[in-house]
Amino acid sequence: MQRRSSSACWDSPLIGPIALSIVICVFLLSGFLLGVKGLPWWYQLLVAAAGLAAVAQLWLTFLTDPGALTPAASQDPLVEALESGLPVPEGHLYSRDGRGTWMKRLQQQQQQQQQQQQPVGWQGSTSSGAAAQYAKYCSTCHIWRPPRSHHCSTCGVCMERWDHHCGVVGNCIALRNHRFFAGFLVAAQAGCLLLLGGGLWRLRLRGLPEPGVWMGVENLLLIFLCVVYGYHATVLLFGTSHCLAIILDITTKDLLTDRQLCRNAPCCPGRRSPRQLLAAWQRVCCGPVLLRKQHTWLALPAEDGPAAAAAAAAPVPVGAAAAAAAVDDGSSSWQSSSGGNSREGLQLHMPASAV
């Protein structure tokens, strides 16, 4: 039991944020003791502010609920009917993908089509050749998840607007914490650049690159620190790419799987029009900050994760016909209601499971 408990401790998601916090503190300590020592107070204040901002954004990324969708305790009766070959309302909208996952083709709301030329949200372009959008059924969480959502096998639940799972920060990067993740990377990169600039500034003040100055112990340490700061600043360049992804409303999952992504340029009519980008920025950058549930913190066995998540759900028993109506109603309102709590929003549109 002690060996298993020790292994679970080392597998805890807390290890990553704690280790990164220690690394940031070591960088700041080396900077103030040597790298930016003796430089103007305002420069040292900028270094301290960047380091504190990086630590704060890191823990916000870890502690914030990424956008977990509440799982159901049992299989949707609509899916049971589909697998049994029984007739269901609007059965022509349901199909399976190459992996055998049930999908439902979403229908655009007629009232929205009359009010504007393009559909709301991530619904494809308005051309006749636009790709259809599908809601997929998760056989693990037993829910119909909205477009761009994905099931994370590490966290054990489906995440809304899923980007990727980052084991370093110990959490999924999705709708609610993508902003904090990008902010952490940018703040850490800014801190490394400031430390690099301070180190070069100090080397210049100490006489470099004049001959005869290279062999000083402090100068050699400064050169070594500048190399370390410069390396990490270069590695953290991908933080800029995450900022660009938020601006363009693109996720890592989209880049890997969406074949229609390159057919709709930013700020052009379609799913990334200026109006749609503004709505996406509001959802990603101005959404509520919700603490993640405790069961996603702990180092649970892989098979216990979905079970623990399902135990927290409160499904409402309905029939197969009502479930189909819930899916149909939800397909037109995911975008409008996703600005609030993702768990509460999903309960409004997902088909409830029967007990």
Task: Enter the pTM of the model.
Answer: 0.74
**What's the pLDDT score for residue 94?**
80
Q: What is the mean pLDDT of each run of 10 residues along the chain (355 residues)?
A: 47 88 96 92 96 96 92 87 83 80 69 35 38 80 89 90 92 94 96 95 83 76 94 90 89 81 66 81 90 55 44 40 42 41 38 34
Instruction: Please provide the DSSP assignment of 39-90 as one string.
Output: S-HHHHHHHHHHHHHHHHHHHHHHHB---EEPPPSS--HHHHHHHTT---TT
**What's the pLDDT score for residue 270?**
65
Q: 162, 174 in Cβ contact below 8 A?
A: yes
**What's the pLDDT score for residue 257?**
80
The DSSP H or E segment spanning 145 is strand 143-145
Say what percent of the chain tops pLDDT 70.
67
Q: 195, 27 in Cβ contact below 8 A?
A: yes
**What's the pLDDT score for residue 301?**
40
> How far is Cα 6 from Cα 320, in angstroms, rounded to an integer?
46
> How far is Cα 92 from Cα 114, in angstroms, rounded to an integer?
25
Task: Give the DSSP letter of residue 236.
Answer: T
Residue 135 φ/ψ, nearest 5 degrees: -95, 130
Closest CA to 130 of 304, 259, 281: 259
> How far is Cα 261 from Cα 122, in angstroms, rounded to an integer?
11
Residue 331 φ/ψ, nearest 5 degrees: -65, -25
**What's the pLDDT score for residue 175?**
92
- Tens-digit pLDDT profile for residues 264-299: 666 666 667 788 888 888 899 998 888 887 544 443
> How far is Cα 302 from Cα 223, in angstroms, rounded to an integer?
46
Residue 351 φ/ψ, nearest 5 degrees: -70, 120
* Alpha carbon of residue 148 to chain centroid: 11
Closest CA to 160 of 351, 350, 323, 13: 350
Instruction: Output the six-digit token pair for 289.
Output: 């900050």
**What's the pLDDT score for residue 133?**
74
Closest CA to 69 of 355, 352, 341: 341
Q: 353, 315 in Cβ contact below 8 A?
A: yes
Q: Where are the alpha helices (DSSP H) in the chain?
A: 2-10, 15-30, 41-63, 77-83, 110-115, 178-205, 217-235, 238-248, 252-257, 274-285, 304-311, 320-331, 334-337, 342-349
Q: Please name the residue that has the structure tokens 């040292």.
A: 44
User: What distances in angstroms separate CA 82 from CA 93, 251, 320, 352, one per listed residue?
Assistant: 11, 32, 10, 16
Task: Give the DSSP letter of residue 132.
Answer: P
Sequence-distant (6+) residues with CB within 8 A of 109 are 119, 332
Residue 102 φ/ψ, nearest 5 degrees: -70, 140
Q: 156, 300 in Cβ contact below 8 A?
A: yes
